[in-house]
Structure 1
Amino acid sequence: MLKRIGGAGKLILVACSLMVASCSPSAEAPKARTEFNIGWSIYAGWMPWPYAQQAGIVKKWADKYGLKINIVQVNDYVESVNQYTAGKLDGVTVANMDALTIPAAGGKDTSAIIVGDYSNGNDGIMLKGADKLSAIKGRQVYLVELSVSHYLLARGLNSVGMALTDVKTVNTADADIVGAFQTPAVTAAVAWNPQLSVMKGTPGARQVFSSADIPGEILDLLVVDTETLKANPNLGKALAGIWYETTALMQRQDEQGKAARAAMAKLAGSTPELFDQQLATTYLYADPKAAVAATSAPALITTMTRVRDFSFSKGLFGQGAKSADAVGMSFPGKKTLGDANHVTLRFDESFMQMAADGKL
């Protein structure tokens, strides 16, 4: 389940995107068209997309609206978001923090049209020789810096009256985090699944905080270029139809549901058992009504305030950003956060609402 990797590459991308955005304000607006590319990378909550393509669900909904939709795998998560930001993809699966700090902060007007799930234990803080988070004070904490692991650490520390200054973070690649934690010298780490599940088996290790303690804050989205969506609203309808038909199927406990989940596990390079374990710590918004409610709730604005404040504090809005308000966001009910005159991340519930109303 590779995703949520921040760092220097993200900052370079943001800086480049800002230059592009500032130098090409007269770029030709997207026109109506019929073929689109949607990028995805391997993660339990995003496996409905490639499965839907394999099962013919993508074609069914694309045909309904006279479209061709290509569901494109990108092996590296950050590369998939970079390709979207550069205009090589019309949409992409992305975590809320990365949607804000890569395309939106880079000036690319982006609409989150499907709030697909939230991490409900897929991300966690591990300690050795202690069973309470407060014991982390003064330790070196190994994690992927500037990722949602870093955000989770900040939220965890805040919950026990501490700050990031109370620990020293050590930037560690997600591919190396398990090996590092298994060495005696490393006594604190933050990771996501599947690495997290392996680390839980380390002798003397305990999980002391997880994303289940901050439900709804680490969100996984499908985002689409806003101008492309405006010129082609049927794309949003087709994507919503694909998502909810597929997630309804995977929720079923009959043979068809089990077969769908097994196929998704195979596409993810996993086993049905491991895939089901990852789904157990993923709160999937399979019901469009629940997704609309979550997207329209005041809690989302609170979450995105925390996310943007953390992101700004770590320099993820680029050198030109003077405050956390530099990147504007909009929410259902015409609510905004940050610069209302420069909104580049939009939480658009309209297509989820159509699904909830049976109007797709």
Structure 2
Amino acid sequence: MKRIARCVAAAMAVGLAWAAGAGGPAEAAAKKTFKIGYNVYIGFMPLSWMQSSGVMKKWSEKYGVDVQLVQINDYVAGINQFIAGDLDAVGLTNMDQLVMPAAGGVDSSLFLITDYSNGNDAIVSKTAKSVKELRGEELHLLQFSVSHYLLNRALALNGMKLSDVKTTNISDAEITAAFVTQPAMKHAVAWKPMVPDMVKGAKGSEIIFDSSKIPGEIMDIFIAKTETLKDHPEFAKAFVGAWYETLGKLKAGGAEAEPVRTALAPALGTDDAGLTSQIDTTHFFFGAQEAADFLTAPKTKEIWDYVRTFCFEQGLYGQGADSVDAIGIQHPDGSVMGSQKSVKIRIDPSFTKLAAEGKL
């Protein structure tokens, strides 16, 4: 999964293009087919089984809609399709919701959290045994991605700043081979499935920090344009219902989980052991109540503050933003973090709460 925060200016241009071509209320009211995009990543891949098993179709029929789950091989392209209006919802990280749709002027709502990274993202080193030993060192990573965010948080927790290290950009497609074959490349930040290959391929290398040290901060979520969600809550109800039915089977284990696991492993390009490894470092919200509690917790507000501060300091709000408060984030209790006049992110746990109450 290319979990990257791309150029805000480009995102804004696409967002404006969407706004210019969007249909009116009458068109929205008539809509019955909804496309939800997702990328190949452990937190989203249960959707492949939801589609092939007929679970999504069953829930779609219950709500009188046609929800189509579309696998997008290019993560950034998928988000751009969402911004442009070609997708009604999309899976991405919380950080990317902020620096792509939100910074591009699109008002979107988080209506489902699937999981958070709980060890999938990591700093790998051939020489250092701790984060403090990275002072003055060069680290290779995909800049302005969640890898960059992870490094920033690791340094902060150890009394350091990004200015205490040097970062060099490298694509996720290149990082594994480069780390394994280039002796001069001593430190890198990446995510699974690259991390295990890096540790295994570069003798003496080890993980010195991972996302389990910052639980909940790298979220995998699904968002929809707020207007779409308001006009057509039925598509979100169908999707969330299908999601929790699928996770219920995965959580049950044994024979009930076998069809799901059998589908997930090859879809992720791995075997059952590899699938287990990825699940073990992913905190799935198997229960809807747990997910609702997380979205409404005071700690989650703190997480959003960490994320927005990092994004603003890295210039990911765009050149016109002069404050971290330029973009408003509305929390479930109605409070707004940032601009009251420019709310572009709304955290909506209502669908998850309906699932928890058995009302879907």
1:130 positional shift = 2.3
State the partner residue of 2:24. 28
1:27 positional shift = 6.4
| Residues 18 and 254 (structure 1), Cα distance of their counterparts in 2 relative to 1, 3 Å cut | closer
1:270 positional shift = 2.3
**Counterparts of 1:33-182 in structure 2 under 5 Å?**
33-182=31-180
- Cα distance in 2 between the residues matched to 1:195 and 1:25: 39
1:33 positional shift = 1.8
Identity fraction in percent: 40
State the partner residue of 2:257. 257
1:273 positional shift = 1.7
Structure 1 residue 13 and structure 2 residue 10: aligned?
yes
- Cα distance in 1 between the residues matched to 2:106 and 2:23: 12
1:253 positional shift = 1.6
Secondary structure (helix, strand or coil) at the match of 1:53 reads helix
Equivalent pair of 1:6/1:144 in contact (CA under 8 Å): no
- Cα distance in 1 between the residues matched to 2:217 and 2:154: 12
Q: Which amino acid aligns with 1:191?
A: A
- Cα distance in 2 between the residues matched to 1:13 and 1:258: 43
1:36-92 deviations in Å (ceiling 9; x for gaps)? 000011000101112101010000000001100110111111111111011110000
- Cα distance in 2 between the residues matched to 1:301 and 1:62: 33
Secondary structure (helix, strand or coil) at the match of 2:29 reads coil
| Residues 26 and 143 (structure 1), Cα distance of their counterparts in 2 relative to 1, 3 Å cut | closer
Q: Which amino acid aligns with 1:322?
A: D
1:210-249 deviations in Å (ceiling 9; x for gaps)? 1000000000001111111111111121111011001111
State the partner residue of 1:349. 349
State the partner residue of 1:268. 268
Secondary structure (helix, strand or coil) at the match of 1:244 reads helix
Secondary structure (helix, strand or coil) at the match of 1:180 reads helix
**Counterparts of 1:289-304 in structure 2 under 5 Å?**
289-304=289-304
**Counterparts of 1:196-345 in structure 2 under 5 Å?**
196-201=195-200, 202-345=202-345
Structure 1 residue 187 and structure 2 residue 191: aligned?
no
Q: Which amino acid aligns with 1:117?
A: D
Q: Which amino acid aligns with 1:102?
A: M
Secondary structure (helix, strand or coil) at the match of 2:43 reads helix
Structure 2, unaligned runs of 5 or more: none
- Cα distance in 1 between the residues matched to 2:16 and 2:249: 44
1:271 positional shift = 1.7
- Cα distance in 2 between the residues matched to 1:277 and 1:258: 16
- Cα distance in 2 between the residues matched to 1:309 and 1:42: 28
1:154 positional shift = 0.3
- Cα distance in 1 between the residues matched to 2:352 and 2:64: 20
Which TM-score applies when normalising by structure 2? 0.95
Q: Which amino acid aligns with 2:197?
A: V
Count of aligned pairs between the two proteins? 356
Secondary structure (helix, strand or coil) at the match of 1:224 reads strand
- Cα distance in 2 between the residues matched to 1:105 and 1:293: 27
- Cα distance in 2 between the residues matched to 1:208 and 1:90: 39
- Cα distance in 1 between the residues matched to 2:44 and 2:15: 28
- Cα distance in 2 between the residues matched to 1:14 and 1:324: 18
